[in-house]
Amino acid sequence: IMVNAHPNVLAIPLRAVTQINGQSMVKVVKQGKYIAKKVQLGFTSEKYVEVVSGLSEGDKVAVPKTQVKNNESNNTRNSGRIRMGGMPPM
């Protein structure tokens, strides 16, 4: 059952967002350095959050490392490029 669809939004992994003094912040990678940026968020799904302002398509956002274990190997992921697209239905 589809409750809501949000096409053509800027979305990032929810785990990339931290709260500092009540403000939503992300770390953006610029010239090899991490820069904290304040963002305004919109709709949220289980894994992704809409960014209403503060980022642009193509910005590179730092995402905390996670380890996914499977039978063959361990995979880690620590950053991702932002793309325009639709958020998965909530």
What pTM did the predictor assign? 0.66
Q: Is the pLDDT of residue 17 over 80?
A: yes
The DSSP code for 88 is P
Give the per-residue pLDDT at 74: 45
What pLDDT digit, counting tens, does each position of 36-72 carry? Answer: 999 999 999 899 999 999 999 899 999 988 766 665 5
Strands (E), 1-90: 6-13, 18-20, 23-30, 33-38, 40-44, 48-53, 60-69, 74-81, 83-87
Q: Return the SS3 of 14.
A: helix
Give the per-residue pLDDT at 76: 44
Give CA–CA dist 28/64, Å, rounded: 12
Return all residues near 19 (Cβ < 8 A) that are at least 6 apart.
25
Give the per-residue pLDDT at 62: 93
